[in-house]
């Protein structure tokens, strides 16, 4: 099962949520270096952070939330492990979404909530992903030959080089983008989820 993590705020003016542009090619995955690079499934497209639920996740309480938060850490470098109980899970047949409403105060980003927390989270993630870009260049040109060398040079670099950048979308200003997301066979389940979760007509 695939598990994705969604951070959002939702009020009278619509919903805002964090999305990510995927890289076309990555140079390290789960701390394993790939100097020649590896094509990313769905490269260049937007997605939520996430991936496969692993066997080790099932041994813990809140297994689905554990999987989503682990994937978030591996892909963005933002560590919310230990806060699984503050998320809620929206299950679908093939995908599960680990949800965080930043307005309710259950999860705070450096003490902030709401829109401020969402913006701060995006900024922190983009700083980490920028380190990932620099690390990828070092792996590619072989100036960084081990994972220890990567973390010495770029300590906040994510463990996997899959995501390029984070953005905040909202269900009003990005409506046409959301409609295209929904029509694309590679991302349509994300669009369907947004349409259902935030009551947006995309079809």
CATH 1.10.287 correct for 2-197 = no
**% pLDDT > 70, the chain:** 96
Residue 92: predicted pLDDT:
78
Tens digit of each residue's pLDDT (9 = 90 or more) over 96-125? 999 999 998 889 999 999 999 999 999 999
Cβ proximity of 50 and 71 under 8 Å: yes
Residue 135 near residue 28 (C-beta atoms within 8 A) = yes
Mean pLDDT of the chain: 92
Confidence of residue 38 (pLDDT cuts 50, 70, 90): very high
Do 15 and 108 contact (CB within 8 A), yes or no? no
- Provide mean pLDDT across the span 1-9: 92
Query: Could you tell me the pTM of the whole model?
Result: 0.93
Top-confidence residue, 186 or 165: 165
């Amino acid at each position: 099962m695939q598990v994705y993590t969604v951070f959002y705020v939702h009020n009278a003016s619509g919903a805002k949520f964090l999305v990510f542009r995927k890289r076309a090619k990555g140079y390290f995955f789960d701390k394993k270096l790939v100097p020649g690079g590896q094509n990313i499934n769905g490269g260049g497209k937007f997605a939520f952070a996430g991936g496969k639920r692993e066997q080790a996740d099932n041994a813990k309480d809140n297994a689905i939330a554990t999987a989503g938060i682990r994937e978030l850490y591996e892909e963005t470098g933002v560590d919310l492990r230990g806060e699984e109980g503050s998320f809620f899970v929206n299950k679908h047949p093939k995908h599960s979404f680990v949800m965080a409403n930043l307005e309710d105060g259950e999860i705070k980003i450096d003490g902030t909530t709401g829109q401020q927390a969402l913006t701060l989270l995006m900024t922190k993630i983009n700083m980490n992903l920028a380190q990932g870009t620099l690390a990828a260049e070092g792996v590619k040109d072989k100036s960084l030959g081990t994972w220890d060398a990567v973390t010495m040079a770029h300590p906040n670099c994510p463990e996997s080089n899959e995501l390029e950048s984070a953005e905040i979308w909202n269900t009003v200003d990005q409506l046409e983008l959301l409609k295209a997301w929904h029509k694309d066979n590679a991302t349509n389940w994300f669009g369907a989820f947004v349409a259902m979760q935030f009551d947006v007509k995309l079809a």
